[in-house]
Chain A
Amino acid sequence: MNMTQTLNVPMSTSGSSVKTDSGQLPAGNASTNIKLSASDVRVFYGQAEALHGVSLDIVKNEVMAFIGPSGCGKSTFLRSFNRMNDTVAGARVTGKITVDGRDIYDPSVDVVLLRAQVGMVFQKPNPFPKSIYENVAYGARLHGLAANKSDMDEVVESSLRRAGLWEEVKDRLEAPGTGLSGGQQQRLCIARAVAVSPDVILMDEPCSALDPIATSIIEELITELKKNYTIVIVTHNMQQAARCSDRTTFFHLGDLVEIGDTAQIFTNPQQKRTEDYITGRYG
């Protein structure tokens, strides 16, 4: 079982991969490049352990995909990176998670600021029942990121542009966000996350409630966002992981089974369970 954590990890750029003994990059080697790091992370819901000691590193400006069958712990793991598990009654996280080398479960850490730095997009589009403008301005306003109205206009416009939604909504910024189509709502949620200028964006199955066209727009957007953000995406859709991620991690029953370059995972998986999953034998 522990052999399953033998991994391929890219050094500074994706593409070239080097075998190491752990999910984590060698210390000191690429420390400037490591954005998120988890070591021996376990998550408990009450007495039940949902995640059994997962360690991995995610480097800057890469797209990391988490795949695996339902209930394998991938969403749970994702939600540990911005401490959204704190909002679930009875959930407990052990182990160490760092963002830019800083332990985010340290008591001195302000969760509110952490969540501004590590943004999140949810499975179901969840725009607030406010106007499109107010949806995007919401986080920026909470964190005081705009001094005046024209600053805020700029934040809203640039965020909507980054989310690829500006052209579609620029004439109706005062219309309710809930009136947009599903795909537009999801891009609005991405714009909303982008507006608080995070470094990392966590995406929890962002396309599972969308039709194929909206999905492909979001996938293109992810490739575009990669230039500025580190992205972790949980997905049920293996084609999606293959299309838009640099590296892929396969989870099964709360274990990290295999991590590696996306191309390698999908063409030459090292683990039997990974192979069974991607060839559709279960999941």
Chain B
Amino acid sequence: MNNFTVAIALLMLAALAYQLGLTKGRGVVALAGHRATHSRPGYHGALAILRAAVPAFVVYALWVVFGNQVIHSLVLESIPAEFLPQDSLQQKVMLQRLSNIASGFGVLGDAQPYELAAADVMRQFQGVGETIVTALMATVAALGLFWSWRTTTAETRARNKVERAINVALIACSAVAILTTIGIVMSMLGESLRFFQMVSPTDFFFGTVWNPRFATMGAEGQSGFGMLPLMAGTLMISFIAMLVAVPVGLMTAIYMAEYASSRTRSLVKPVVEVLAGIPTIVYGFFALVTVGPILSSIGAAIGVDIRATSALTAGLVMGIMIIPFISSLSDDILTQVPKTMRDGSLALGGTKSETIIKVVLPAALPGIVGAILLALSRAIGETMIVVLAAGNSPVLTANPFEAVSTVTVSIVNQLTGDQDFASAQSLVAFALGLTLFVMTLILNVIALVIVRKYREQYE
């Protein structure tokens, strides 16, 4: 019984249920007439699907999720105590080996007699389980069909029931995003707590040296987990990026919203938004290969020592990447400022630029601040550009011409390569990630609150 077969069977069941419901519904209409029938036949069909195919699917889904656990615990009980490993990790390895034997997939080395016996038990339980589940699915489906067939009358409010089912389905889908977020936070929280058992939070949050070395050296007695240099790098690069993106993005938005003809606007806006669609890795090597050397030679010409890979290089390119976020959002916000507001200023004898500076921008300010905060949280979380162009040098410096490192770059460094996931060197990545997540979350919440407040003002 593989998933594909089940999917086909369920689809066929759904089609059958729909036809039965449809037929019954038409019969009801023929008897009671259109006026006296609450729902059209199609709704009875849909309702039959909900009553027959959906419960059968739920039964199967439960089996997929929990069936293996049940079988595994039964199999472990059958194994003689002298062969049973105490460690849960080794038990997992053993079960994997057993299921490979059971499915005839083959294993390394010769299978022990007790293993063959256990695999046999596993195969039996799987067979029994599948039979039970198939029978259960068939029963549930048949009951559902029977229920539908028997209870369908002219008064059945199939239409309203289908409506409610759609409602439930929509809620379930939106719950996926929320549950995923919660899941991510939970997993990061767990790993971070393990990290903080090895390294004290004070050392992590306020330490000024970032030098985690290798996992083999252990975490004891070392203070190389200070995240301040990384945070400083992140903030410096984000700041440079905002210095580039905010003025340029805002001016672009003002031009598009206030000055450009609708034809120009329809041309310029998509082109600017193309910037947002360029993969960040492309920006990264653009920074590394083009912008960095240019900045470096400019620095040489004016007598300033600028590294090719520096906070400045990464910040400039990141700023260019963020321009469309600010310009596009601000443009939407500026066009939302009511025309009556502009007319009020123009009718008092204000020029266009006076009107924009003194009336339109202040009115749109909360929204624009929101847009900037959203762009900032994007800058803080940006990885690829800084990996390539910031120089990966975790030192605490205020000089933008120096190479720096950021939180995101360090996460990449700590998690790539051959790593022991139980070491402080790997776990620190989760602590860094959680810090980053909390920072951007706070920025996003502030931005959303501001934007919402602004929206209310004109609705």
Interface residues of A (CB under 8 A from B): 82, 84, 87, 89, 112-116, 119-120, 122, 124, 126-130, 138-139, 142-143, 178, 189, 192-193, 196
* A130 lies within 8 A of B362 (CB): yes
* A138 lies within 8 A of B358 (CB): yes
C-alpha spacing A130/B362, complex, angstroms: 9
Contact status of A196 and B348, CB under 8 A, knowing A128-B359, A128-B363: yes
Which one of B350, B363, B457 contacts A112 once the chains associate, using CB atoms below 8 Å?
B350
Interface extent on B, as a size class?
20 to 34
C-alpha spacing A128/B359, complex, angstroms: 7
C-alpha spacing A130/B348, complex, angstroms: 16
C-alpha spacing A178/B343, complex, angstroms: 16
* B340 lies within 8 A of A122 (CB): yes
**Segment 141-157 of B: residues with Cβ below 8 Å from A:** none
* A128 lies within 8 A of B344 (CB): yes
B305 within 8 A of A: no
C-alpha spacing A139/B347, complex, angstroms: 9
28 A-B residue pairings within 8 Å (CB atoms):
A84-B343, A84-B346, A87-B342, A87-B343, A87-B346, A89-B262, A112-B349, A113-B349, A114-B349, A115-B349, A116-B348, A119-B347, A120-B343, A120-B347, A122-B340, A122-B344, A127-B344, A128-B341, A128-B363, A130-B362, A138-B345, A138-B350, A138-B359, A139-B349, A142-B348, A142-B358, A143-B349, A196-B348
B354 within 8 A of A: yes
Instruction: Across the A-B interface, give the 6 residue pairs with the lowest CB-CB distance, nearest first.
Output: A139-B348, A116-B349, A120-B347, A126-B340, A115-B349, A126-B344
Chain B, residues 303-346, CB within 8 Å of chain A (1/0): the string is 00000000000000000000000000000000000101111111
User: Most A CB atoms within 10 A — which of B338, B342, B349, B359?
Assistant: B349
Chain B, residues 369-389, CB within 8 Å of chain A (1/0): the string is 000000000000000000000
Least CB distance from B368 to A in Å reads 13
Residues from chain B with Cβ under 8 Å of A114 in the complex = 349
B416 within 8 A of A: no
User: Most A CB atoms within 10 A — which of B262, B342, B343, B351?
Assistant: B343
Residues from chain B with Cβ under 8 Å of A138 in the complex = 345, 348, 350, 358-359
What is the interface of chain B mostly: helix, strand, loop, or mixed? Answer: helix
Residue of B nearest to A110 (CB): B349
Residue of B nearest to A87 (CB): B346
Residues from chain A with Cβ under 8 Å of B351 in the complex = 112
Residues from chain A with Cβ under 8 Å of B347 in the complex = 82, 84, 115, 119-120, 122, 193
C-alpha spacing A151/B347, complex, angstroms: 23
Residue of B nearest to A82 (CB): B347
Given contacts A89-B262, A139-B349, 9 further A-B pairs with CB under 8 A are A87-B346, A119-B348, A122-B344, A128-B344, A143-B349, A189-B344, A192-B348, A193-B347, A196-B348
* A126 lies within 8 A of B341 (CB): yes
Residues from chain A with Cβ under 8 Å of B345 in the complex = 128, 138
Residues from chain A with Cβ under 8 Å of B343 in the complex = 84, 87, 120, 122, 126
Residues from chain A with Cβ under 8 Å of B346 in the complex = 84, 87, 115
* A124 lies within 8 A of B340 (CB): yes
C-alpha spacing A114/B344, complex, angstroms: 14
Residues from chain A with Cβ under 8 Å of B348 in the complex = 115-116, 119, 138-139, 142, 192-193, 196
* B363 lies within 8 A of A129 (CB): yes
C-alpha spacing A124/B340, complex, angstroms: 8
User: Most A CB atoms within 10 A — which of B347, B358, B457?
Assistant: B347
Residues from chain B with Cβ under 8 Å of A196 in the complex = 348-349
Contact status of A142 and B341, CB under 8 A, knowing A128-B359, A129-B457: no
C-alpha spacing A192/B345, complex, angstroms: 10
**Segment 19-60 of B: residues with Cβ below 8 Å from A:** none
* B362 lies within 8 A of A129 (CB): yes
**Segment 439-459 of B: residues with Cβ below 8 Å from A:** 457
Residue of B nearest to A124 (CB): B340
C-alpha spacing A184/B358, complex, angstroms: 22
C-alpha spacing A87/B259, complex, angstroms: 12
* B350 lies within 8 A of A142 (CB): yes
Residue of A nearest to B346 (CB): A87
Residues from chain B with Cβ under 8 Å of A87 in the complex = 342-343, 346
Least CB distance from A227 to B in Å reads 22
Contact status of A126 and B349, CB under 8 A, knowing A87-B343, A138-B358, A189-B344: no
C-alpha spacing A139/B348, complex, angstroms: 6
Least CB distance from B454 to A in Å reads 10
Residue of A nearest to B348 (CB): A139
C-alpha spacing A115/B345, complex, angstroms: 10
Least CB distance from B389 to A in Å reads 41
Residues from chain B with Cβ under 8 Å of A189 in the complex = 344
C-alpha spacing A156/B133, complex, angstroms: 82
Chain B, residues 425-449, CB within 8 Å of chain A (1/0): the string is 0000000000000000000000000
Residues from chain A with Cβ under 8 Å of B362 in the complex = 128-130
User: Most A CB atoms within 10 A — which of B343, B344, B351, B363?
Assistant: B344
Least CB distance from B444 to A in Å reads 25
Least CB distance from A114 to B in Å reads 8
* A142 lies within 8 A of B338 (CB): no
C-alpha spacing A112/B354, complex, angstroms: 11
Residue of B nearest to A189 (CB): B344
User: Most A CB atoms within 10 A — which of B350, B351, B457?
Assistant: B350
Residues from chain B with Cβ under 8 Å of A193 in the complex = 347-348
Residues from chain B with Cβ under 8 Å of A82 in the complex = 347
C-alpha spacing A87/B354, complex, angstroms: 15
C-alpha spacing A82/B344, complex, angstroms: 12
Residues from chain A with Cβ under 8 Å of B340 in the complex = 122, 124, 126
Residue of A nearest to B355 (CB): A142
C-alpha spacing A10/B341, complex, angstroms: 37
Residue of B nearest to A130 (CB): B362
User: Most B CB atoms within 10 A — which of A122, A138, A143, A196?
Assistant: A138
Residues from chain A with Cβ under 8 Å of B341 in the complex = 126, 128-129
Least CB distance from A193 to B in Å reads 7
Residues from chain B with Cβ under 8 Å of A192 in the complex = 344, 348
C-alpha spacing A178/B457, complex, angstroms: 9
Residues from chain A with Cβ under 8 Å of B358 in the complex = 138, 142
